[in-house]
């Protein structure tokens, strides 16, 4: 028989905005009716700029080989350069899938346990990254779990021995897995700008602790390479990226099928209203 029933997908959005220096960071946590969770980061605000004597790109000096002087940025307006920079936001994911005894696995054609729990994303190594509870299974025997679905991210261009990269070594990989430890909650340590890189996620991971059937934490880092353009000045449009936490054999079937269908009268309707002063 023809199927005549549909259900609109509803999303609950929990938003937080943090102003840090010259930037506004918009954090959205989207919770969808099919069990999917999508953390999303939006960047907006005022660019970091520096002054210059140049008013036009044609004025930039060139050497004998014709190479332009390195400006480390883009001329956005007369006498203004927008500086090239990066943004990294690390998410601390204490998932506790069906309890505390979780394992982090990298799934290729067959399940493979990853050690030591550090992942660099690669387009030429298609994989899935699951947090599972092998002690809890579905009726057909699959371990319950959630998987991380990566999206666009950026790897640091700094050398690992550079002091800034030692402090921000959590950007060396996009995905990490460590045992839960109450004192290990900030990927860059408590005082990133004042540290020597001795209390970071990279250091904790090198302790090579067991992450199989343990209370574990998965860390995911969103990265942005920002080469400013004129549209970003003086106030930039929001640039955003996200990743998904998707149920993988966590439910016995599509959970939306258990929900009652929605009708127009049940949904909130937004409109305009004139208010007299």
Assigned domain for 171 exists: yes
Q: What is the mean pLDDT of residues 62-73?
A: 89
The domain that holds 205 is classified in CATH as 2.70.98.20
Distance CA 186, CA 165 (A): 16
Distance CA 220, CA 92 (A): 7
Residue recorded with tokens 């666009």: 152
Distance CA 240, CA 2 (A): 40
Distance CA 167, CA 58 (A): 38
Exposed, middle or buried by CB within 10 Å (0-12, 13-18, 19+), for 214?
A: middle
Assigned domain for 63 exists: no
Assigned domain for 99 exists: yes
User: How many structural domains are present in the chain?
Assistant: 1
Domain containing 210: what range?
Answer: 11-55+71-109+124-258
Q: How confident is the model at residue 63 (pLDDT cuts 50, 70, 90)?
A: confident
**DSSP letter (8 states) at residue 262:** P
Q: Please report the pLDDT score of residue 27 as a whole number.
A: 96
**How do the residues of the chain divide into helix, strand and coil, expressed in percent and rounded to 5?**
10, 40, 50
Assigned domain for 119 exists: no
Assigned domain for 266 exists: no
Assigned domain for 65 exists: no
First to last CA, the chain: 57
Assigned domain for 114 exists: no
Distance CA 112, CA 197 (A): 31
pLDDT in tens, 143-194: 999 999 998 788 888 899 999 899 999 999 999 999 999 999 999 988 887 8
Assigned domain for 62 exists: no
């Amino acid at each position: 028989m023809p199927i005549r029933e549909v259900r609109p997908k509803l999303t609950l959005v929990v938003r937080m905005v943090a102003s840090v220096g010259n930037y506004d960071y918009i954090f959205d946590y989207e919770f969808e009716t099919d069990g999917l969770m999508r953390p999303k980061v939006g960047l907006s605000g005022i660019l970091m700029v520096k002054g210059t004597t140049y008013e036009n790109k044609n004025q930039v000096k060139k050497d004998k080989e014709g190479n332009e002087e390195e400006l480390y940025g883009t001329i956005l307006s007369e006498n203004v350069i927008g500086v090239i920079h990066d943004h990294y936001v690390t998410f601390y994911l204490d998932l506790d899938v069906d309890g505390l005894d979780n394992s982090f696995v990298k799934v290729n054609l067959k399940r493979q346990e990853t050690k030591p729990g550090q992942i660099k994303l690669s387009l030429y190594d298609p994989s899935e990254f699951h947090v599972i509870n092998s002690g809890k299974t579905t009726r057909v025997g699959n371990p319950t779990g959630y998987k991380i679905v990566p999206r666009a991210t950026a790897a640091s261009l700094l050398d690992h021995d550079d002091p800034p990269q030692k402090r921000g070594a959590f950007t060396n990989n996009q995905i990490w897995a460590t045992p839960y430890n109450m004192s290990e909650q900030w990927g860059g340590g408590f005082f990133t700008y004042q540290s020597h890189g001795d209390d970071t996620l990279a250091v904790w991971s090198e302790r090579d602790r067991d992450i199989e059937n343990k209370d574990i934490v998965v860390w995911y880092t969103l990265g942005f390479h920002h080469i400013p353009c004129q549209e970003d000045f003086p106030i930039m449009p929001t640039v955003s990226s996200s990743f998904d936490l998707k149920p993988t054999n966590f439910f016995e079937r599509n959970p939306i099928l258990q929900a009652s269908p929605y009708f127009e009268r049940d949904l909130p309707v937004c409109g305009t209203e004139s208010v007299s002063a």
